[in-house]
Structure 1
Amino acid sequence: MDIRYKTYYNQHMSKSLEDTSKFLSYVLRHEPQAIGLTLDSEGWADIAALIEGARQAGTILNRDLIQQVMDTSDKKRFTISEDGLRIRAAQGHSAKTVAITYPEKIPTEFLYHGTAARFLESILKEGLRPGKRHHVHLTQDEQTAVAVGQRYGKPVVLKIEALRMHQQGFKFFLAENGVWLTDWVPPEFLNADLDK
């Protein structure tokens, strides 16, 4: 394969997989009705219905492309059911019909949340709230938090005293892809690392 074509092909495929991942996130987390899709309370959608709804909306989607997105994603945003017939987003839902039952877990001593510096004043005053999502998303990995914060501007990493929160009655859940979830993080459990 010609090196220029290979470079073009790899960039195009990467863009195609990224676009497909964004499309799947949109319909499986937020707006399934945009393509006539129905999610059950655990967030599952029929893959055949997803492919057909995407086609009617003008988006080309097939099982191979869905599998490529899953295989190449380091974030593991999606899960396919054991029978291979259904798919769901691992977390991050705002769709009101979805109420996934995540396993409750005892967190590590500290978890992290990445955000942008422009949101810091509000967060330190009100704590971390889920916004339109169902939960606040946290990670055990500080570098992941930095990467998330960079998506929104100058990154700030918030260090959450998760174990202390848990000991005071706050519940934590662990999504299939390793993202920690909680309903709210009050300001007294937050420390901001401004040196990122």
Structure 2
Amino acid sequence: MPDEKRAVKVSKFLSLVLRHQPEAVGITLDEAGWVDVDVLIAACAARGRRFSRAELDHVVANNNKKRFAYSDDGRRIRASQGHSVQVELGLPAATPPAVLYHGTATATLPLILREGLKPMSRQDVHLSADLETAVRVGARHGRPAVLVVDAAGLAAAGHTFRVSANGVWLTDLVPPRWLRHQP
């Protein structure tokens, strides 16, 4: 797929379908978020969103955020995380690094520092292992701000962490006492 603009469009559409609205193309995700690749391609084509298996392979392999994953046999696909539809990714609990990061827009800082990080429309709070990723995430929403999460303290307090296939750390919520703004 030499046309990267098209790859971005396919990726964004797949994010919509595999994370938020599978019904938009008439598919159903299984309880772990998987759908048969051939079913996905046919359903998208039937709704005017045609792409080939080769194009899909390119998107899965080259998406800079590694948003999608194939099953071990390559016959099914799912989003790695970020679902607003109910799925159970089956990710085991993991011990986080001492510190994780969350990128957001500067405008949301007062509310987050007062109420903590909540999953909002998603199933989990998303955290980054490195500052650079958090800055990029925050920049998608306006002027970026980065929050430092005391992940070790949060884990010691009984919060569970999981890490997705693409390295995004997930947890249910982060109360304000475990956050500080990274100026």
- For residues 146 and 28 of structure 1, the distance between their equivalents in structure 2, rounded to whole angstroms, comes to 25
Aligned pairs for 1:62-73 within 5 A: 62-73=52-63
> Once the two structures are superposed, what CA deviation does each residue of 1:91-128 show, in whole Å capped at 9, x if it has no partner?
000113x1222110011100000000000111011100
Counterpart of 1:111?
Answer: 100
Q: What amino acid does structure 1 have at the position aligned with 2:171?
A: T
User: Which residue among 171, 174, 178 is the counterpart of 2:167?
Assistant: 178
Which structure has the greater CA radius of gyration? 1
Counterpart of 1:30?
Answer: 20
Counterpart of 1:78?
Answer: 68
Q: What amino acid does structure 1 have at the position aligned with 2:120?
A: G
- For residues 44 and 38 of structure 2, the distance between their equivalents in structure 1, rounded to whole angstroms, comes to 10
The offset of 1:131, in angstroms, is 0.6
The offset of 1:74, in angstroms, is 2.1
Identical aligned residues as a percent: 46
User: Which residue among 155, 166, 169 is the counterpart of 2:155?
Assistant: 166
The offset of 1:147, in angstroms, is 0.4
- Give ranges in structure 1 of 5+ residues lacking alignment: 1-8
Secondary structure of 1:157's counterpart equals: strand
The offset of 1:76, in angstroms, is 0.8
Count residues in correspondence. 183
- Give ranges in structure 2 of 5+ residues lacking alignment: none
Structure 1 runs of 4+ aligned residues shifted over 3 Å read none
TM-score (norm 2): 0.97
Q: What amino acid does structure 1 have at the position aligned with 2:20?
A: H
User: Which residue among 122, 126, 129 is the counterpart of 2:111?
Assistant: 122
Counterpart of 2:131?
Answer: 142
Counterpart of 1:3?
Answer: none
- Superposed CA RMSD in Å reads 1.1
TM-score (norm 1): 0.91
